[in-house]
Structure 1
Amino acid sequence: MAAAGAELQGKYQKLAQEYSKLRAQNQVLKKGVVDEQANSASLKEQLKMKDQSLRKLQQEMDSLTFRNQQLAKRVELLQDELALSEAKGKKNKKSGEPSSQLSQEQKSVFDEDLQKKIEENERLHIRFFEADEQHKHLEAELKNRLEVLETDAAQHQAVVDSLTRKYTDTIEKLQNDKTKLEIKSQTLEREAKECRFRAEECQQQLKNLHADLGRRLDDSLCIINEKVPFNDTRSSQYNALNVPLHNRRCQLKLRDIAGQALAFVQDLVTALLNFHTYMEQRVQIFPIDSATDTISPLNQKFSQYLHENASYVRPLEEGMLHLFESITEDTVTVLETTVKLKVFSEHLTSYTCFLRKILPYQLKSLEEECESSLCTAALRARNLELHNDMKKITAVFEKLHVYISLIVLPSIKPEGLLRTNYSSVFTYIAADLHGFHNVMKGENKRGVSNLKWAIS
């Protein structure tokens, strides 16, 4: 429950960190939206000012148009006056040269004034046209920018709304998790109180049991001191002189068990010989065939070590055979008398050292094979499984070597292993052999070898 609470607390902290990160992003987006809104307001203000400028120009245009109309009327009036003047000039042709000169000067003045007004009107038309075109261009540009800014503002607002919804959901989820954690914390506190109460009760019971056992021990010691005049079980030297009881039925049963163990060891020896020989042949032909090419120095050394496997494996069978032959109907077989077990233990130690010696070469050879271009994916997977199983097999033999060394102790050093620990050591040996059996059964299923192991 503590682990679950810690996991929920970690999850809560992770969600809180994510919320803080999203909140910071939200602040950035909000600032961006505000900036865009300010920019949009500024552009709207500029558009408003441009509209005012356009209206002012429009008013000037209207004023110029009105003035142009006045000038046009004045020109017409002047033309009428000129025509009238010309008509009068024809009638008063005889009035003399001074009158004609005056009319000509007036006409020249009128023409010059008219030409100036026409040029001024043209300039005003050109300025109005240019101002109108500039205003239209600026208005279109500002409208486009306004549309883009409005689109960006809408997108930012959509992102803000989405993040707000997400933050709301996250906050609700965090609040729900917090509520659940609080409820679970309260439950754990109640359970802790109950456990403390039960622990106090157990401690009190333990104290009472200690007191009761102390009293019973004192009573037993008083009885032993009064009733037992001599007790030699405290000395291991005296215990070594005890003659064990002879039981023919027990001897036959032990011989039968030793025979089964001998058969199992024989099968094991055969299987190990086949296994190491198979590995040697495999190294010689894959991934490089030694008949046609030179294999790597690693595989050469590995093959050389594998070639020596018989000198380490066969003594196991010989040691177990000597142990079996030492158990007869007439002998008394206990751990203190099975001196032949030491020989088997030494052979097992030698083979375990051999496995430890070849294990690095075995692992490196498999890795080298996996790196070869000829190695398929399926074979690479099988090699990796064999890689792990070889480590397990070596570990099993190392444990078995330790346990066999322990049960050898009573025959060479009686005080090295207490009788109360005999059953525990044999239990560990059985468990180790079962583990070995499971490993090799997996190897058989995967097709590494077709050996049949007789270990149960």
Structure 2
Amino acid sequence: MLQDDLGSPLSRRKKKVGGGAGGPNAVDGVVGTVSGDVQTQELAAKIAQNEQLHLKVSELAHESQKSAAALQTTRAKLESDMSSFSEEMEQKEREHKTEVEAMTNNRAMLEAKLAKYSSELKSLKNTLQREQELSGRLRESSPIGLVGSERQPETVRRETYAALNVPVVDAKLQGRVLVSLRASLELVTSFATQLSTLHSYLQQRCKTYPIDTSTGVQISTVNQKLCKLLHSSSSSYTKPLVSAFSQYSGKLHANPYSTPTGSSDLMEFALAHRRLVAYLDTLTPYLQISLQEECGESVCGVQLTDINMQISNTLPRLVAAFSTADNYLSLLARGPVEGVSVASLPVCLQRLKISIRDLHSVLEALHNLYSSKI
């Protein structure tokens, strides 16, 4: 239609121009032609503008369709997520409700058990109090007393014994104690024998090495004093130790119901052990000085010097291990009245066991060092 409108002025202009070139309408034709050209240009501009607007409208419509499709997809996804979330929430609510019901039931059961246990505990406390009162009266009325070195096993509860600080006699435990005593006697005897052998070796070595070539005697008086100390070890310290423990073990085997702790025989063994510890403490400085003198000789090589230094450093550890074991042994020898109580007896025995293990490790280290030295 716009093109038809453009064509109509052109045809009219041609007709007017064709009317005559020299007539009076020639000027009017020229003016009409100019006016038609202006209108044509305006229409062309409007047509171009209209085309651009149509293109923009088309692009906007296309973008709107894409946005609408994306929104539809997002909406469908959100609706699906919402449905899943709702189902999950319902499942969680059901589980929570079930859990709350179970916890409520458990709480009721625990409260019932607590009430039952509280009643039983109260009854046990009353029973224990009555037993303690009766035990106190019995101890006051008995001329011998409950605490003795020898007695038959009782049928009283262990808690009552622990409260009264009275040792408990257990037949099975007593059997294990006797087995341990036999093994301990063998170990003590073997230890005394090996210690005497070591002291004999050290005594012979002091007499033969190092030797002063000019006089044929030891270089210093330290070795002479050391030989005297080593010579008295067997008769004065190791034999009494074995004899005391053998007597203690024999008494326990003869009377299985005797208490292992607090007896006079165990005290004799503890005293013999303490004398041995004091002897080793006196002997250690002389051994260290003798080793230093041996290292100072020209015939002493680097390897022998290193071994001697290791032995010198191990000797104080040996005395410390003996002292630790001696402390716990003394507590056991004094018994439950003056030494360790019945309640603390397992702890004391466990620590004595640890100290004996430490002593064994130190003795083993010394044995290896002297073996490499030989």
Change over 3 Å in CA distance of 1:230–1:265 after alignment to 2: closer
1:374 corresponding residue in structure 2: 299
The answer to whether the 8 A contact 1:251-1:329 is kept is: no
Choose the corresponding residue for 2:312, options 378, 387, 391: 387
Choose the corresponding residue for 1:350, options 258, 267, 275: 275
The answer to whether the 8 A contact 1:273-1:309 is kept is: yes
TM-score by length of 1: 0.46
2:105 corresponding residue in structure 1: none
Change over 3 Å in CA distance of 1:288–1:338 after alignment to 2: same
The answer to whether the 8 A contact 1:336-1:414 is kept is: no
The answer to whether the 8 A contact 2:252-2:260 is kept is: no
Q: C-alpha offsets along residues 87-115 of structure 1, whole Å, 9 cap, x if unaligned?
A: xxxxxxxxxxxxxxxxxxxxxxxxxxxxx
Choose the corresponding residue for 2:222, options 298, 305, 312: 298
The answer to whether the 8 A contact 2:151-2:258 is kept is: no
2:346 corresponding residue in structure 1: 423
Query: Does 2:156 correspond to 1:231?
Result: no
Change over 3 Å in CA distance of 1:226–1:289 after alignment to 2: closer
Is there any run of 5+ residues in structure 1 with no aligned partner, and where?
Answer: 1-215, 452-456
Deviation at 1:444, TM superposition (A): 3.1
1:253 corresponding residue in structure 2: 176
Change over 3 Å in CA distance of 1:381–1:223 after alignment to 2: closer
Residue 133 of structure 2 aligns to which amino acid in structure 1? N
1:404 corresponding residue in structure 2: 329
Q: Distance in 2 between matches of 1:358 and 1:231?
A: 55
The answer to whether the 8 A contact 2:311-2:369 is kept is: no
1:272 corresponding residue in structure 2: 195
Change over 3 Å in CA distance of 1:424–1:450 after alignment to 2: farther
Deviation at 1:316, TM superposition (A): 1.1
Work out the percentage of aligned pairs sharing the same amino acid. Answer: 21
**Aligned runs of 1:24-423 on 2, under 5 Å?**
224=126, 228=130, 231=133, 239-240=146-147, 243-245=151-153, 249-288=172-211, 292-310=216-234, 311-328=236-253, 330-336=255-261, 338-410=263-335, 414-423=337-346
Deviation at 1:348, TM superposition (A): 0.4
Secondary structure of 1:369's aligned partner = helix
Q: Distance in 2 between matches of 1:226 and 1:316?
A: 44
Is there any run of 5+ residues in structure 2 with no aligned partner, and where?
Answer: 1-117, 154-168
The answer to whether the 8 A contact 1:248-1:330 is kept is: no
Deviation at 1:322, TM superposition (A): 0.4
Change over 3 Å in CA distance of 1:404–1:365 after alignment to 2: same
Q: Distance in 1 between matches of 2:189 and 2:373?
A: 17
Change over 3 Å in CA distance of 1:239–1:289 after alignment to 2: farther
1:53 corresponding residue in structure 2: none
Instruction: Tell me the C-alpha RMSD between the 2 structures.
Output: 3.4
Deviation at 1:303, TM superposition (A): 1.1
Residue 313 of structure 1 aligns to which amino acid in structure 2? T
The answer to whether the 8 A contact 1:251-1:333 is kept is: no
Which structure would you say has the larger RCO, counting Cα contacts within 8 Å and 6 or more residues apart? 1
Residue 256 of structure 1 aligns to which amino acid in structure 2? V
Change over 3 Å in CA distance of 1:229–1:381 after alignment to 2: closer
Q: C-alpha offsets along residues 308-360 of structure 1, whole Å, 9 cap, x if unaligned?
A: 11121111111111011112264313235633111111110111110111111
Q: Distance in 2 between matches of 1:373 and 1:338?
A: 55
Deviation at 1:227, TM superposition (A): 6.6
Q: Distance in 1 between matches of 2:218 and 2:254?
A: 58
Q: C-alpha offsets along residues 243-272 of structure 1, whole Å, 9 cap, x if unaligned?
A: 451665544432222111110111101100
The answer to whether the 8 A contact 1:275-1:449 is kept is: no
The answer to whether the 8 A contact 2:328-2:352 is kept is: yes
Deviation at 1:221, TM superposition (A): 11
Change over 3 Å in CA distance of 1:375–1:414 after alignment to 2: same
Deviation at 1:292, TM superposition (A): 2.3
Deviation at 1:374, TM superposition (A): 2.0
Deviation at 1:427, TM superposition (A): 1.1
Aligned residues: 233
Q: Distance in 1 between matches of 2:342 and 2:128?
A: 28
1:5 corresponding residue in structure 2: none
Residue 318 of structure 2 aligns to which amino acid in structure 1? I
